[in-house]
């Protein structure tokens, strides 16, 4: 079985924004503060369960909002209801999707001019109920083109809009009927651009596959319409919330399956469905399954962090043409491993929503991973006292590493500060600690190599966060690109990579780097590939694969250094 995943599957910007502001409120909540959402924040049961675990209540009447911090749902609410909530709530956070808010403004503007508003959408859907509230009693919701014939003939001023997640083909048919009945009527195509892209991609994908699987809540309007679009292409279509809703015997009949998802479906749910479908395939060999399992363990257990830290010392050794002490190199890898393990366990409740499989692994192996991180790091830390020249780098790494673990929330409050702390920690472990003796022998060369390593690690961590954001794993957390914006951040990253490449080419000719510097084109190429290929507005990526590519690209020059030095 071949599984093709739609690039636009998963969270839209409106859902992402609603979760961001809600989780930000949770993070900043005062001890006595109660946070609630008016109605379900989005239409996804698994995400709502995550919010309940974080103490976010769901209320359905203004009276229940009294004295609480209330988050207005992504679908929006009627204006009179909002006024009632403002009158009793202690604080109100508006998480209404910006696109929905624009439609609300259009309806209100025309209603004040005496227009009747016709909304193409589900009358019982939260968004449509909210939109009708802005029509000042002159609004009506319809679902089918035939419903146009039921409207009064004597309306002079009529506005036609659509629920932002409406099926485009149905809306276009409604527009034709509307124009015939109301030649002077105004039509506003208010279907969200993301909805248009998703439906068009599903339409094209359905023509290439034997069956379509649409992942998302059964009560999610945009997900239901994606399933309708696929079914209209004449292909067998399965609307599921999780992989457990699929019958493996039935799905085994198909050779090629397309997968897409609604705008309120987190990435991990899509990945679970894809993995489930892939395990059904009789063509998928045991060697591939074994390779996948090994890769999963490397990433989930943070063993890849140990390998990256350990071998990075040998990669740096190539630039100085000095072989690091093997025990100090092991200590560098173990401390990188320990920091990553502790960071994961300190934040794994957040990962629970974003990646339940990873969370399950962390819970099952908690004692083993934490024990190894503590015991092995303490044992190998004794090597520093045998090599006093490693002490400055060791102390600097411990200082910044401790700051990452203890003051992580404070570091996150200043965009970019966390990346500086991480990069300084990794640079201290892989450059200053194993090559501390070069401070007095080759000071300039060590400074250049340290700057080079810092920039590479900074780029690495920033790209990993970019990828995790695309995978919905950093929602509710401020990052550097939340300030700069995605495209601007990507431009800065590519500019930084060009500067690194220029330094790698000039370093040997200036005598501050060895000719082995050219090998570092490999990790820069790997980072550039991930940035170019996987970091997009709505591009689905494989968590394990991208982590291996990013960290693996740093491992390659390290392996060469381990063999040559």
| Catalytic residue annotation | 127
What radius of gyration, in Å, describes the C-alpha atoms of the chain?
Answer: 27
In 207-255, beta strands by DSSP E: 211-215, 237-240
* Residue 162 backbone phi and psi in degrees, to 5: -130, 150
d(CA 62, CA 81): 7
In 47-115, beta strands by DSSP E: 57-59, 69-72, 91-94
Rama region for 220: left / alpha / beta (φ>0; ψ in -120 to 50; rest): beta
Cβ–Cβ under 8 Å, residues 312 and 362: no
Question: How many Cβ atoms sit within 10 Å of the Cβ of residue 300?
Answer: 22
d(CA 309, CA 431): 10
DSSP state of 97: -
Task: Measure the N-to-C terminal CA separation of the chain; round to a whole number of Å.
Answer: 46
d(CA 352, CA 326): 37
What are 399's two structure tokens?
Answer: 């200082």
Handedness of CA 145, 118, 199, 270 (dihedral sign): negative
d(CA 546, CA 552): 9
Bridge partners for 239 per DSSP: 214
d(CA 302, CA 253): 38
Cβ–Cβ under 8 Å, residues 164 and 122: no
Instruction: Write the CA distances from 204 to 199, 208, 260, 535, integer angstroms.
Output: 9, 7, 12, 23
Bridge partners for 555 per DSSP: none
DSSP state of 242: S
d(CA 251, CA 240): 13
Helix (H, G, I), strand (E, B) or coil at 253: coil
- Kind and range of the H or E run holding 366: helix 366-386
Residue with tokens 């990828």: 467
């Amino acid at each position: 079985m071949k599984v093709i995943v739609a690039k636009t599957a998963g969270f839209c910007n409106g859902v992402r924004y609603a979760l961001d502001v809600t989780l930000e409120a949770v993070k900043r909540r005062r001890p006595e503060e109660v946070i609630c959402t008016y109605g379900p924040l989005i239409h996804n049961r698994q995400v709502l369960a995550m919010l309940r675990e974080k103490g976010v209540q769901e209320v359905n009447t203004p009276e229940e909002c009294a004295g609480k911090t209330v988050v207005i749902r992504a679908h929006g609410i009627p204006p009179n209801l909002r006024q009632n909530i403002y009158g009793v709530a202690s604080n109100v956070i508006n998480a209404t999707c910006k696109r929905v808010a624009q439609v609300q403004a259009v309806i209100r503007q025309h209603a004040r001019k005496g227009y009747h508003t016709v909304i193409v959408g589900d009358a019982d859907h939260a968004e449509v109920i909210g939109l009708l509230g802005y029509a000042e009693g002159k609004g009506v919701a319809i679902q089918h083109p035939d419903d146009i014939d039921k409207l009064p003939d004597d309306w002079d001023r009529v506005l036609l809009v659509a629920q932002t997640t409406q099926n485009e083909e149905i809306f276009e048919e409604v527009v034709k009927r509307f124009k015939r009945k109301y030649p002077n009527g105004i039509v506003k195509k208010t279907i969200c651009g993301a909805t248009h892209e998703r439906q068009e991609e599903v339409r094209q994908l359905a023509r290439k596959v034997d069956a379509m699987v649409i992942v998302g809540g059964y009560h999610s309007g945009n997900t239901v319409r994606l399933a309708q679009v696929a079914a209209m292409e004449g292909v067998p279509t399965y609307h599921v919330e999780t992989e457990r809703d699929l019958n493996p015997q039935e799905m085994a009949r198909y050779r090629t399956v397309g997968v897409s998802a609604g705008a309120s479906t987190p990435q991990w749910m899509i990945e679970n469905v894809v993995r489930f479908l892939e395990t059904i395939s009789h063509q998928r060999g045991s060697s591939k399954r074994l390779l996948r399992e090994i890769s999963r363990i490397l990433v989930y257990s943070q063993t890849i962090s140990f390998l990256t830290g350990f071998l990075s010392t040998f990669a740096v050794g190539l630039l100085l043409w000095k072989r690091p002490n093997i025990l100090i190199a092991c200590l560098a890898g173990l401390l990188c491993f320990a920091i990553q393990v502790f960071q994961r366990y300190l934040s794994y409740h957040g990962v629970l929503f974003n990646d339940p499989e990873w969370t399950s692994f962390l819970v099952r192996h908690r004692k083993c991973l934490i024990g190894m991180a503590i015991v092995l790091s303490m044992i190998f830390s004794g090597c520093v006292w045998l090599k006093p020249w490693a002490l400055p780098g060791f102390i600097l790494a411990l200082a910044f590493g401790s700051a990452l673990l203890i003051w992580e929330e404070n570091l996150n409050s200043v965009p970019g500060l966390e990346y500086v702390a991480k990069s300084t920690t990794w640079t201290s472990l892989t450059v200053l600690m194993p090559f501390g003796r070069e401070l007095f022998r080759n000071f300039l060369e060590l400074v250049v190599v340290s700057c080079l390593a810092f920039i590479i690690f900074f780029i690495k961590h920033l790209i990993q966060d970019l990828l995790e954001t695309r995978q919905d794993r950093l929602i509710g957390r401020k990052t550097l690109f939340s300030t700069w914006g995605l495209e601007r951040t990507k431009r800065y990253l590519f500019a930084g990579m060009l500067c690194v490449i220029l330094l790698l080419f000039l370093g040997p000719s200036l005598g501050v780097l060895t000719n082995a510097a050219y090998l570092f084109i490999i990790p820069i190429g790997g980072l550039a590939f991930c940035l170019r290929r996987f970091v997009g507005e709505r591009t689905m990526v494989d968590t394990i694969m991208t982590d291996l590519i990013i960290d693996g690209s740093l491992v390659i020059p390290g392996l060469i250094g381990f063999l040559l030095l």
